[in-house]
Amino acid sequence: MAAAQRVSVLAGGAAIALLGGAALTVPVAPRLPAAPDSPLGAAARGEREVPSLGLTWGRLRGWERTGAGWTLVWQPVHGAWLVRAWVPDGGDDVRWRLEAAPWLPGVRLGREAARAMAPAAPSPPIARDRVGRRDWVVGGERLLGALDGGGALPRAAPAAAPAAVGLAAIQAVLGGMLLAGAAARRLVPGVASRAWRRAVAAASLALMAAVPLLGVLAPHVFQPGVRPWVAELAFGTGIVMLLGALAFGAQRFPAMGGAPAAGWLAAAGAAGILAGRVEPVAELAALAGSPLCLPVCVAAAALVGWLAGLAGDGLGQLVRAPAVLRVVVLGVIGVGATLAAGPWLGFVVAVVAAAAVGRAGGTAMAVSVAWGWEVGVTRELCRWERGQLDAAVLLLLGCVALGAAFVWRRRTAELAAQGAA
């Protein structure tokens, strides 16, 4: 009997290893280009290649992934101006832009003087009168008074109209699933899990503590004329309020305990890895440039998993059918949503996985998908050494958690068998 159990465990472990290996290595066509360099490396290149401008740039405040490059922001403490730069992945020129508060004084050049400073511009200069100076737009260049302000920076390409409509529909449906899940947990309560309550609360507190160092993920909040600490405070306040709402929701609408078999959790993790590789999210690549990547990813997986488990409860209550028909219906919903989910693909997969196994193990399945999704995105987008190391560590932590779940489930079954005997 023991030999048969060992063979079964080895066979299951081999199947799990093959499943994970396939999810990590199968060829995919990701929606976003991979980043060969970290944002800090891109910032070093930008500081070398962008002209000094005769101004103090201040500290690097934030970065974001834009197309095939990094958009970075520097701003001094007084906030009167800031420098934005787009550093492409290849050997193309770095684009930059100087922005200054409208009340900063400067000269008021005439049209001929502005044209003389940019003689190669094909179009006539266009004046922009500010409080204390006159700015000019000369073709693709800008003048802040008599100071070169650089040109336009690349922006993320907007989604096509049908894709935008599909994403809006997916978001509306997911919002409805969350409301349905909250109603289901209040009207048909189960045995709440203290472990999941504590896990979500701990994850929320950990992210709250990390908020002061996560302002780098929101470079758009930094504006000329606004002190950086004010922008960071506004961003942090919003994030803390959101985390507080999630922590309260986890206490009010708690998840049920229990977990499915380790094989199902491994399958969920592999599906998350594949979803992350197919539809990577640029925000997670920006997070990988932060030294807090690993703890934030662990905490975020718990929060996203709880949310997806809640939505999965709603979907499961709406799709009440015999087991075979339920699997077919959820499969059709999952395939249909995958075609239009876009960057929400990982969350949609987590919701469907949570609904497929039922309320008792839904949260664990959703957390496994969220964890795998983070591994897949980091591995696919973050091609620099530290990013690949973070992906490997996240994968290793997930394997350790999977092994712990297997041992716990087996030990529980043995104790139950001993008690029955």
- Contact between 128 and 137 (Cβ < 8 Å): yes
Where would I find the beta strands (DSSP E) of 69-133? Answer: 69-75, 81-88, 95-100, 126-129
pLDDT in tens, 281-294: 888 888 988 888 89
What are 6-49's pLDDT values in tens digits?
545 555 566 666 766 667 777 777 788 888 999 999 999 999 99
3-state secondary structure at position 421: coil
pLDDT surpassing 70 at residue 189: yes
Q: Which residues pair with 382 in a beta bridge?
A: 35
What is d(CA 281, CA 298) in angstroms, rounded to the nearest whole number?
17
> Global pTM?
0.87
Confidence of residue 62 (pLDDT cuts 50, 70, 90): very high
Q: Say whether pLDDT at 97 is over 80.
A: yes
For residue 352, name the pLDDT band (cuts at 50, 70, 90): confident
pLDDT of residue 7: 46
Residue 137 and residue 123: Cα distance in Å, rounded? 9
414 has pLDDT over 70? no
CB under 8 Å to 187, separation ≥6 — which residues?
A: none
Q: What is the pLDDT of residue 323?
A: 63
Identify the CA nearest to 53 among candidates 99, 87, 88: 99
Question: Are the beta carbons of 276 and 287 closer than 8 angstroms?
Answer: no
Phi, psi of 142 (to 5 degrees): -135, 150
- Across 403-417, average pLDDT: 71
Q: Which of 114-118, 265-269, 284-288 has the lowest mean pLDDT?
A: 114-118
Burial (0-12, 13-18, 19+ Cβ within 10 Å), 195: exposed
- Counting every residue written for the chain, the total comes to 421
pLDDT of residue 1: 41
**pLDDT over 80 at 75, yes or no:** yes
Buried b / exposed e over 395-411, threshold 16 CB at 10 Å, is bebbeebbeebbeebee
Q: Could you tell me the two tokens for 316?
A: 């499961």
Question: What are the structural domain ranges in the chain?
Answer: 39-151, 160-420
Q: What is the mean pLDDT of the chain?
A: 83
